[in-house]
């Protein structure tokens, strides 16, 4: 669509053309599959619908964020955070350190390419939101990251073990991740800790070896 329009200056509608090119590129996130399934176990979840679920969680659970948290920025971060997977793919949360390091390099290269499709001021703003999410320094990023950790735990509980059982993950490994949820929200952290205990009690998650 872009090339064709550039040939006709009468039709030049910047910044709209660049924005639509970005939004058309973004469609590919619907084809990136995560390890998690849907809660009805009918198929694997993709990263676009996962991002929608997180944005809905931000809306519904905003009362559990620290006072003064800007939920609009949380929502923007969760809507954007997985776009890099269009190039880099999704990596399982419990992958090894080497795979994690490779993934980080690939995601940064993807962020360089994908956000640059937008008009320059918007590209910079979106990239800053993505960096903020990755760096986890603000209360908005901490809350967004807490939601991103909590959602697959809910899926695993609802599906009777899900990726925990499929990949032999043990309770101590999951508990390490709860620190990140607690860092974003005290009540969600407490809920997650309780969910892990119930998951172990019900055989959905193996106890620490």
Kindly list the residues in this chain that would bind a copy of itself in the complex (CB under 8 A).
1, 4, 11, 13, 15-16, 19-20, 22-24, 26-31, 38-40, 42, 45-46, 48-49, 51-53, 55-57, 59-61, 63-64, 71-72, 75-76, 79-80, 118, 122, 154-155, 157-158, 187-188, 190-191, 194, 198
Question: Cα dihedral angle (6, 9, 13, 17), rounded to 10 degrees?
Answer: 0
Give least dist CB 189 to a copy of itself, A: 12
Q: Minimum Å distance from CB 122 to a copy of itself?
A: 7
| Closer by beta carbon to a copy of itself, 51 or else 97 | 51
Q: Which helix (H) or strand (E) holds 56?
A: helix 47-60
Query: With respect to a copy of itself, which residue has the nearer C-beta, 68 or 209?
Result: 68
3-state helix, strand, coil in the chain (%, to 5): 70, 5, 25
- Alpha helices of 71-185 — where are they, by DSSP H? 71-80, 85-88, 97-115, 120-135, 139-158, 162-166, 171-184
Q: How far is the CB of 142 from a copy of itself (least distance, A)?
A: 18
């Amino acid at each position: 669509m872009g090339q064709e329009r550039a040939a006709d200056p009468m039709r030049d509608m910047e910044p709209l053309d660049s924005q639509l090119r970005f939004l058309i590129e973004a469609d590919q996130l619907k084809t990136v599959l995560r390890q998690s399934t849907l809660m009805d176990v009918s198929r694997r979840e993709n990263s676009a619908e996962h991002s929608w679920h997180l944005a809905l969680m931000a809306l519904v659970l905003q009362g559990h964020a620290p006072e003064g948290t800007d939920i609009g920025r949380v929502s923007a971060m969760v809507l954007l955070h997985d776009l890099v997977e269009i190039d880099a793919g999704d990596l399982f949360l419990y992958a090894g350190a080497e795979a994690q390091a490779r993934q980080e390099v690939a995601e940064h290269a993807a962020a360089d390419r994908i956000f640059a499709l937008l008009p320059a001021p918007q590209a910079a703003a979106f990239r800053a939101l993505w960096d903020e999410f990755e760096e986890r320094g603000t209360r908005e990023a901490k809350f967004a990251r807490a939601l991103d950790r909590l959602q697959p735990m809910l899926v695993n509980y609802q599906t009777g073990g899900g990726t925990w059982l499929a990949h032999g993950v043990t309770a101590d490994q999951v508990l390490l991740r709860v620190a990140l949820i607690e860092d974003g929200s005290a009540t969600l952290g407490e809920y997650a800790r309780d969910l892990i205990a119930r998951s172990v009690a019900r055989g959905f998650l193996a106890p620490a070896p």
